[in-house]
Homo-oligomer: A and B are copies of this chain.
């Protein structure tokens, strides 16, 4: 297929966006393996997914930076990106940065506002104009980068928790709100997702900012026959939880308490140190266990900012459970992963699979991508294995022979 695929990243120069860009280029140059990217396993070849090396990158960003500088900083601070690799990719990374546009910060909350750089936030002249400007960015990208299809991915910092009752309830009300200026009824993520669907793009909400795919927005997407999925990429502690909890169920071991603590530094941690932003996140992480186990239990999800860790997120989970003769036992795990490294390939996987859906004219929630999310839209199943089984069934329907 000769078509070209564009990825438009909201929060393009953050840790995940930068890691995606570096990874795509490094893979194309053969500098690194395919590790982390499930859709590059040989079993997926029959699907003819868009080659990672041909993808074109663009995006919005509210901070002053570029792919090279951001990659360099990550290489120095967390070490998750190899300095020699980006030294080799420097010209490409600098060139790719020309497709980054200033973002919007309307009603994004204090924590995120504190991160913005002058000249990188669009002036606010009404919601409708904000949306139109985002749409113009997307249209320009499509035209200049000569891409046939675009998938927009939300990688921006977690917004403060939103009151869903105050959000527009359907597409009509949404249009009315965009024509007014009640900024407190929206969040930036909603403006981006709206613009994406109006420009015919697929959309992946990788963050816990649930305004992005609220019912009114989904109505817009479904009417346009466009695919989307979210919320909140399942990368670390929650991934492990959803892989492990079924085991307790199989053995009828009663989980009494599942206590989890996440510590992390970097921008992500800084934002989550704000109570409002944290609320969005914790809600997303907390539903998983009861969903899988089928009974109420004591759970706790702590997230604390530890600056020195940078992006080397560390999680400690303590699981207290009761077995035969009501005897109590425990299990603990420590997860030490780099969030951007874990997240970046999931985004690439999903962009390729969203593109597949677009090529086949499939709109609506891509429920088969549930295994990638902490709070999968329209999917009640949190068991990672059953979620992955569903992905396998979907892919089989697309011609995949072997179960991946």
Q: Which residues of A approach B to under 8 Å, CB–CB?
A: 19, 22-23, 26, 32-38, 40-41, 76, 79-85, 239-240, 243-244, 246-247, 250-254, 256-257, 259, 261, 263, 298, 300, 302, 304, 306-309, 314, 316, 318, 320, 322-338, 341-342, 344-346, 371, 384-386, 388-389, 404
Contacts and interface: CB of A to CB of B under 8 A. Distances in A.
Cβ-closest 3 pairs across A and B:
A36-B324, A256-B308, A385-B385
Contacts of A346: 251
22 contacts: A26-B325, A35-B326, A36-B325, A37-B252, A38-B250, A38-B251, A243-B243, A243-B244, A243-B247, A250-B388, A250-B404, A306-B318, A316-B318, A324-B341, A327-B338, A329-B338, A329-B341, A331-B335, A331-B336, A332-B334, A332-B336, A385-B385
Q: Which of A247, A308, A324 has the most CB of B within 10 A?
A: A324
B257 A308 contact: yes
Interface of A is mostly: mixed
Given A329-B337, A332-B334, A35 B253 contact: yes
B261 A324 contact: no
Given A331-B333, A334-B334, 16 more contacts: A35-B252, A35-B254, A35-B322, A36-B253, A38-B250, A38-B251, A239-B251, A240-B244, A250-B388, A257-B307, A257-B308, A323-B337, A323-B341, A324-B341, A327-B341, A329-B341
Given A309-B257, A323-B341, A384 B250 contact: yes
A104 to B, nearest CB: 29
A295 to B, nearest CB: 11
A322 B385 CA distance: 21
Given A243-B247, A331-B336, A342-B323, A40 B252 contact: yes
Contacts of A256: 308
A331 B263 contact: no
